[in-house]
Amino acid sequence: MVYFIQCGNDGPIKIGKSIDPVRRLQILALSAPSKLRLLATIPGSRDEESRLHRQFAEDRLYGEWFHPSPALLALIASFQDSWNSLCRFEPRLLDLLKTAEAIKDDRAKPAFCANAIWYHGIMQDGTVLPHSLKWELTQLVGWEANTNLLNLRTSGAYGIAYNAIYDALPACRNCSCL
């Protein structure tokens, strides 16, 4: 996994690789002149790390530390919380969105409850999904996500994905939620 760690709020940025970026942050913090912040992590091998070092060679200060240039900061921002970046790191979010988009309100029925589907996996026809859509989401993003990608394990990532997928469901109609 490739990580981006910044020294202070506007100091140099380290582009490195580690299987455990949080542990790497803790080790680097022992000798850092100011507080270190883990800005982002992305999937990647030593080749990806080397490619990024070449891409930002003009910004290199020393070793793996780089000046926080507008281009580097823009790249890091692209890895942070946005729907597109979340889907780049966790493509199964797109599958979950397609599942939500495929759910239709059978208007011939007297009511439709998006929350029954979202929270409990109970479809309008009474069938029950193996897991609720919300449970599926929590496996992919948020604090409890089953991933090592720290970008996905944030409340911001959860909020973005929650809104995108929940909003794809038809609105509640004549249910007890209203």
**136 located within any domain:** yes
The helix/strand/coil state of 17 is: strand
Q: Which of 47, 80, 113 is the last residue of a domain?
A: 80
Cβ–Cβ under 8 Å, residues 166 and 114: yes
pTM above 0.85, yes or no: no
16: three-class secondary structure by DSSP? strand
Q: What is the pLDDT of residue 176?
A: 86
What pLDDT is attached to residue 81? 63
- Taking the C-alpha atoms of residue 2 and residue 16, their distance in angstroms, rounded to an integer, is 6
* In the predicted structure, residue 178 carries a pLDDT above the cut 70: no
Residue 50: Cβ within 10 Å count: 14
Q: Which of 80, 100, 126 is the last residue of a domain?
A: 80
Model pLDDT for residues 22-60, shown as the tens digit of each residue: 889 899 999 998 999 888 888 788 999 999 999 999 999
Structural domain tally of the chain? 2
The boundaries of the domain holding residue 51 are 2-80
Residues 94 and 66 reside in one and the same domain: no
